[in-house]
Structure 1
Amino acid sequence: MIMKFNWGTGIVIAFIAFISFIMYFVINMNMSDKYDTSLVREDYYEAELELQNDIDKENNSKTLESNLSWKRTDKGLEISFPESLDTDKITGKVFLYRPSNKQVDFETAISLSNQNLLIPDKRLLDGRWNIRVDWQYNGKSYLYKKEITY
């Protein structure tokens, strides 16, 4: 028995081919490690609970004569602390993370020379970075957050 090929058969075959095509990509995207859909932070809920603490630290930063600043130099990213502060009493950490790729995120302790902290150019890829400087001076905590394009 030979089946006739008409408009109805063609439409059904086209629908089946289209649905198969879409299902292939849906399954491929969900199973592939190349398309990682993980959270930006693993400790999302714990970070949410510390929100008021961060707000207090940011308010402390607003009371300074001048806040932190940053600039791109030929050596890397240079973070400048207020000149009125004694660099020996500044402690804390700098955390840089990329919303697009958590594998390149990193954290470093604050180690100043002449009011400046240099993050080498080799550690930073071009693109958007979120910078977070959580630091203390004379027992008071401060926080600086900024989205930068490097």
Structure 2
Amino acid sequence: MKINWGTGIVLAFIGFIGFILFFVVRMSTDNRANHDLVTEDYYRQELAYQKEIDAQNNATKDINKLQVRKSPDGLEIIFPEKVNPREIEGTVSLYRPSNKQLDFDLPISLSNNHLLIPDNRLLDGRWDIKIHWNYNGTDYLHKENIIY
């Protein structure tokens, strides 16, 4: 049977479309390709982004700067010495980009200016840390990427 050039072009198009559809179906059903969103409510978070920028600007002032450092016991968050630790409210959010199940939030409850996250809660690797805190009606936000 002889194939003319019009039939050859149609067969080439059908082959190419089949090739593309094979990879589309394979990538959408493959368990190794994780397509999770970073956050489930990203539209709501986008609307509150200006408040987040203002809180970050408040946190970069020298009087209100906090430190995050590794210690032998875990991850230590040191709040400024000039603030009363009992009046600080907020949360510490640790986000693991490689595994959503390892993410967790901790409420800030201080008796002194140090907050310790125990070593057994943190696996080795990259963590994104967000510290939202409020002191005397002013919001503060500290973001940092750490390799633990």
Distance between the aligned counterparts of 1:138 and 1:129, measured in 2? Answer: 29
Aligned to 1:72: 70
Distance between the aligned counterparts of 1:29 and 1:100, measured in 2? Answer: 19
> How many positions carry a matched residue from both structures?
131
Q: CA deviation at 1:27?
A: 4.5
Distance between the aligned counterparts of 2:60 and 2:105, measured in 1? Answer: 24
Distance between the aligned counterparts of 1:123 and 1:30, measured in 2? Answer: 33
Q: Percent identity?
A: 49
Q: CA deviation at 1:28?
A: 4.6
Q: Point out the more displaced range, 30-39 or 47-56.
A: 30-39
After TM superposition, the score normalised by the length of structure 2 is 0.79
Pairwise mapping of residues 1-150 of structure 1 onto structure 2 (< 5 A)?
A: 23=22, 27-150=25-148
* Ranges of 4+ aligned residues in structure 1 off by more than 3 Å: 25-29
Q: CA deviation at 1:127?
A: 0.9
Q: CA deviation at 1:117?
A: 0.7
Paired AA for residue 86 in structure 1: N
Distance between the aligned counterparts of 2:64 and 2:87, measured in 1? Answer: 17
Mind listing any 5+ residue stretches in structure 2 that lack a counterpart?
1-14
Mapped contact 2:58–2:64 kept (Cα < 8 A): no
Distance between the aligned counterparts of 1:123 and 1:71, measured in 2? Answer: 15
Q: CA deviation at 1:68?
A: 0.9
Aligned to 2:11: none
Q: CA deviation at 1:34?
A: 3.7
